[in-house]
Structure 1
Amino acid sequence: MRLRLVAAVVLGVVPMFGQPLEEAPLAARALISRGDTARTQQALARARRGEPVTIAVIGGSITQGALASTPARNYGSLLADWWRTTFPQAEVTFRNDGIGATGSLLAAHRCGPLVAAEPDLVVVEFAVNDPNDESATESLEGLVRQLLDSPHQPAVVLLYTMNSLGGNVQAHHARVGLRYGLPQISFRDALWPEVQAGRIAWNDIEADEVHPNDRGHAYLAEFLTYYLESVRANLPADEALPKIPPRRVLPTPVTSDVYQFAQVLTADQITPIASQGFRHEAAPFGPGWVADDPGSYLEFEIEAERLAALHYRIKGDTGIARLTVDDRPPVTLNAWFDATWGGYWVSEPIAADLGPGPHRVRLELTDELPGTSTAHRFHLGGLLVAGTR
């Protein structure tokens, strides 16, 4: 089957999957590495046999579908449409695990439900959300190791988007892709040269400085399906499919495996050993804690090598808290966010290399007021702990 032109659908030029891809050179340029295709072959073969398959995407607001005109036009939905059209005999479930303004650090802690859903293929997109340093390599590596080591052994594909300067953290993420033999697809490598040369205007593919519009999402889906079509074109009979190594057989880490063992501790999983002024309130991954009065505090005992705090930031009546681990210097957590597009949950790194526990964690709400805030509200969504094997 020839590659189908997803982008043309969005532009209203041809029917979905109806014509050869005129942008094939772009798709080929986007495919910076095919990696080891064994897991992709297994996923495609399941669909070919008519077995149920689950296609998942995990990332930030781009993956969530921000600024696509409808959910059906974000790249993940278009990717799922390809599976349904290509394999009408298979039941295709689509799962979108995108959360705006979050990176692979939180993803490594929150991916348990995704793993439990037993996806057959997972696209990972954090290239414009992660910090441009080695911490991006380490947190992405932890997420990738959890996915690869999960019982269902899904195919994992790395997807690299870009900002309006052509920037992303692809160089840091690619180290993980190369170590684990992952397919890597770069929206940036395909389209940034076209933008620089004036053949494509930025606003032809992007709705703002980072979020693709419908055409941009269509390109993302097209680049992904180009890879899938390239594998499907030479898909062998079931008896000749390549074998996937058994679980627990993963390469030596590029950085560490600390984030392979990570979770979000909410009020369902941990009880403070002491508290005052905080009450339970809903948060993204379970009940968290919220307080309004200076002097309110929470104390916990944890076992972990790494600790981060998940808390809410917004331009509103919010406060400042300080978090202390053992006798280390306190870390200031500012819930004020000086922008008007809304609030978000931030994963604030607190401590690394904690060593053998237990460790005492104390969060206390101060009397300081940030920005133009007139109140002290502070919402803790959970503790992000990693490294406990």
Structure 2
Amino acid sequence: MDVAQAEYAGGGPGYARVRLLGRARGAATAPPTLLIADGASWRRIAAVPGTPVVAADAPFGVAFEIPLHLAVGDGAWWLEPGAAVGPDPAVRARVDGLAVRVAALGAEVAALRARVGAERGPGPGPAEREREPAAPAADASPVPRTARLRALRPGLPALLVVAGAFAVGDAVATVVWQEPVSALWSAREQRALDQDLRQLDAAYASPRAADAAGASAATVTSPQQRMRALARTLDTRTTAGHPLGKLRIAAIHARYVIVQGTRASSLRKGPGHYAGTALPGEPGTTGLAGHRTTYGAPFRHIDALKRGDAITVTMPYGRFVYRVEGLRIVKPQDVSALQAVGRQRLVLTACHPLYSAAQRIVAVARLERATPRGAAAPGTTA
């Protein structure tokens, strides 16, 4: 096997992945072994799992995961070919026979060394003998090492230290505050949603929105009925991940744009509206779900809500103020709180406890006041 070069191919904590490139000579062989001088001994390193057979008389590329102190050290590297492989049983038998003979010769050499040592007197102890390096195989090839691999010596350990510090910092921030990377992503999404919500508000401020909902001023005079019609239209026309309104909970300093849907893709943007539940202004229960540790963690402090705390939901057609009635902990599959009741109410759900999805925390709030806005406001006519 002729080795042309060794190149750095990535790595992880405590090791560097190195790919050896070259060309094989002769028969196909099993994956080779890399020998690296480690002080006064050789360290044999097998190829990464899944490495295929090295084809005969063909280019090869074999990767090894090398301990970091060896990857950046100055010890010599050798590549030992694996055992020959082939369909000919006779060839395989000859190889196996040679292996047996080599093992027998090794035993004889060891016995001769013991006799010579006994005649010369006490020699090195077992610990010293273990440090004597074993020579590479006769057909092993020296591995040329590029300057880039040597350059890893000052850079890669520092990079791994920085990566470890970042991981620790991320964990601490998640415990104390929230997961920072997803928080930044969610904040960007919230800014974009806020702009879309302004456009939605402008569209629902036009009398044409009431006409399209079948609630024009000429036919429907009750603001509550117009809000109901506009809510139904908004719910059916808004697809998952798009904005519906804005949620504000002053007691826990939460202010977020609400999106349609509770799939993971929607909840990455902000609190999501449960499909099948009412929108504010419609009879029944309005259900919202949100994260507690990731993607902005809108409901992180939902467990701090107290009876009587205000929750304000601003929709394009109205502003709704709810008062918290209480909290309860339920199993993840318990959705009874989302069922419609004989009054308008708001239900917030999130995972419980923090950093776990073992249970759900549910906050229930009753509607205290509804103020029409936009096309639902009194006096809005075409």
Shorter-chain TM-score category? under 0.3
Q: Which of 1 and 2 has higher RCO (CA within 8 Å, sep 6+)?
A: 1
Could you state the TM-score of these two structures normalised by the residue count of structure 2?
A: 0.21
Task: Say which structure is richer in helix.
Answer: 2
Larger Rg: 2
